[in-house]
Amino acid sequence: GRAPLVLLLSGTVSLLGGLIFGYELGIISGALLQLQTDFQLSCFEQEVLVSAVLIGALLASLAGGILIDRHGRRRAILVSNLVLLVGSLILTLARSFTLLVIGRMTVGFAISVSSMACCIYVSEMVAAHQRGLLVSLYEAGITVGILLSYALNYIFADMEEGWRYMFGLAIAPTAMQFLSILFLPVNPVKLSSWDSDCQKGLIPLQDKEDRAAAKREPYQDSPTISHQEKHYSFLDLFRTRDNMRRRTLVGLGLVLFQQFTGQPNVLGYASKIFHSVGFQSNSSAILASVGLGAIKVVATLVAMALADKAGRRVLLMAGCVVMAISVTTIGLTSRTAPLAVARDCRAAAGPNASHSLSQQPLAPEVPQAAVSPVPPASGAVKSQAGPGFAATRSLTEVFASTQSKEAVPNPSLTQKRDLAGQSKEGTLESTGPPLDATPRAQHTVLNWITLLSMMAFVSAFSIGFGPMTWLVLSEIYPAGIRGRAFAFCNSFNWAANLLISLSFLDLIDAIGFSWMFLLYGLMGVMAVIFIYLFVPETKGQSLEEIDQQFSRKR
């Protein structure tokens, strides 16, 4: 009789974990606009503040794996909840820039550990035919969390010290997750062998037939597998034992292709594209950004429904094909109708947020040529990467641009920030026309094609790479090393994301915007080939069967 309850609580833990992750990544875009004035932040300080989450997350993906494997998944989630509560309190009560950075790093550490532990814990808790659905709930949680953060950014935008409420509200879902997991069964603390994992109720909901079949399986098929040998060292990830090297190849390939298909930057251009299509005013840009967020939520729900029916491979490959076509289309249309590439640190919450939105009422005729040489938040909002992290940037950037107080910025501040942008050496000139230039009639059609391609890209990502990468990662490693393996791949995810976000402007200068997107299209094609050749189908198989499938294959 406890099965439905365990199922419900597992789902809740997964959903809340994702919700907190998305919320923490999205909330900074609105908070930054207030913090910038309250603390008189320089461009560099804004970059540091937004990147602090990333630094915390990278630390967690290096250390978190050991915590998850040594002390169990459940305890890791409980610890991450407590750390997150501490981080949120520091942020809510912060009186100095240093405390803000410490708070954001603490939050980054917590959401990174939680993201890994949640996916692994839920994948081990539920039966094979429900695993896809429940682990994908995490990704759905992220998309909902981001939408929620935008809504709250909007509500608190004009409130005195509204950022304190924005940061403080993360405490509610964290407390709920903490309580939900207290009622779930405990994982064995020491994973002695595969066999004891199963016996001690690691997989309590597995069907009786599954269990009987698992016991009948001739384990001694392969000389490398014996009951006693199930302790793994970190270096085993790179050895041929139990085919671990191939598993690591699959994990790293998925994680790197997830980033190298251009995910961080396509979404970064959301606001530019909305602007060029004609969403000129603040409120319409907010609606457009929320619309894109809603598309992500719907696509993720579709992925959840299909994960256990169509299978992981099919969704990954279909998603990649659509993504490759979409970015190629954006690349081709932007050759004919170039988009402006201008950033400066006022758009810190999203390097691509079109600050001309806030400028328009004051000085529509002044083109914004000053661009700081380093994309302000490139390592910032966009560099978050974690399970489904993808969801994160969806609209953070657009939102940043639309958050200005009633579209009439404080002129002295505007001046100060412009000076800051101009005083940086090596200032780049903006490529392409100033944002305020009205799109010429013949480009309107192309701009709409670009917009639709972007929607297709977002949907395809949310169906394929978004949820499936983390689902496959939580399934393909043996229980004894699952935490460390997941964390190892996750650290590459964060690092690749940072690299791509930071090199974006330099690459655009070197090869041009449209070539950049055509390059992403090529990566998409390579990703399809990689998935076809290396990624096995894992739907409907128990974790042990997946483990055996890998161990036997040479």
Cα 377 to Cα 162, 215, 223, 264: the distances in Å are 21, 52, 51, 12
DSSP string, 4-60: HHHHHHHHHHHHHHHHHHHHHHHHHHHHHHHHHHHTT--HHHHHHHHHHHHHHHHHH
- Residue range(s) defining the domain that contains residue 510: 234-339+440-553
pLDDT for position 197: 41
Asked if the structure places residue 135 within a domain, the reply is: yes
Beta bridge partners of 341: 431
- Same structural domain for residues 114 and 1? yes
- Same structural domain for residues 465 and 319? yes
Which domain-ending residue is among 187, 221, 252?
Answer: 187
- Same structural domain for residues 165 and 280? no
Asked if the structure places residue 386 within a domain, the reply is: no
Q: What's the pLDDT tens digit per position in 403-457?
A: 333 333 333 333 333 333 333 333 333 344 444 444 455 577 887 888 888 889 9
CA-based torsion, 453, 496, 56, 348: positive or negative:
negative
- Same structural domain for residues 109 and 46? yes
- Same structural domain for residues 319 and 175? no
pTM for the model: 0.70
- Same structural domain for residues 165 and 284? no
Helix, coil or strand: residue 141: helix
Asked if the structure places residue 549 within a domain, the reply is: yes
Asked if the structure places residue 398 within a domain, the reply is: no
* Mean pLDDT of the region 226-230: 44
- Same structural domain for residues 89 and 174? yes
pLDDT for position 200: 41
* Mean pLDDT of the region 472-486: 89
Asked if the structure places residue 383 within a domain, the reply is: no
* Percent of the chain residues past pLDDT 90, beyond the cut: 27
Round the average pLDDT of the chain to a whole number and report it.
Answer: 74
State the pLDDT confidence band at 229, using cuts at 50, 70 and 90: very low
Q: Does the pLDDT value for residue 241 go beyond 70?
A: yes
Q: Does the pLDDT value for residue 203 go beyond 90?
A: no
Longest dimension (CA), the chain: 77
Burial 99-133 (b: 16+ CB within 10 A, else e): ebbbbbbbbbbbbbbbbbbbbbbbbbbbbbebbbb
CATH of the domain at 89: 1.20.1250.20
- Same structural domain for residues 149 and 18? yes
pLDDT for position 37: 85
Region class of 177: left (phi > 0), else alpha (psi between -120 and 50), else beta: alpha
Q: What's the pLDDT tens digit per position in 502-536?
A: 777 677 778 887 888 899 999 999 999 999 999 98
The Cα–Cα gap between 233 and 291 comes to 46
Tokens read off for 2:
């406890």
The Cα–Cα gap between 203 and 128 comes to 10
Asked if the structure places residue 108 within a domain, the reply is: yes
- Same structural domain for residues 138 and 38? yes
Half-sphere exposure of 5 toward its Cβ, with a 13 Å CA cutoff? 8
- Same structural domain for residues 25 and 102? yes
pLDDT for position 441: 56
- Same structural domain for residues 459 and 529? yes
Asked if the structure places residue 548 within a domain, the reply is: yes
What's the number of domains the chain is made of? 2
* Mean pLDDT of the region 232-256: 89
Contacts of 502 (CB under 8 A, 6+ apart): 374, 375, 378, 379, 383
Q: What's the pLDDT tens digit per position in 38-68?
A: 898 887 788 788 878 888 998 898 888 888 9
Q: What's the pLDDT tens digit per position in 382-403?
A: 333 343 333 333 334 433 333 3
Range with the poorest average pLDDT among 65-79, 276-290, 511-525: 276-290
- Same structural domain for residues 141 and 258? no
The residue count for the chain: 554
Asked if the structure places residue 83 within a domain, the reply is: yes
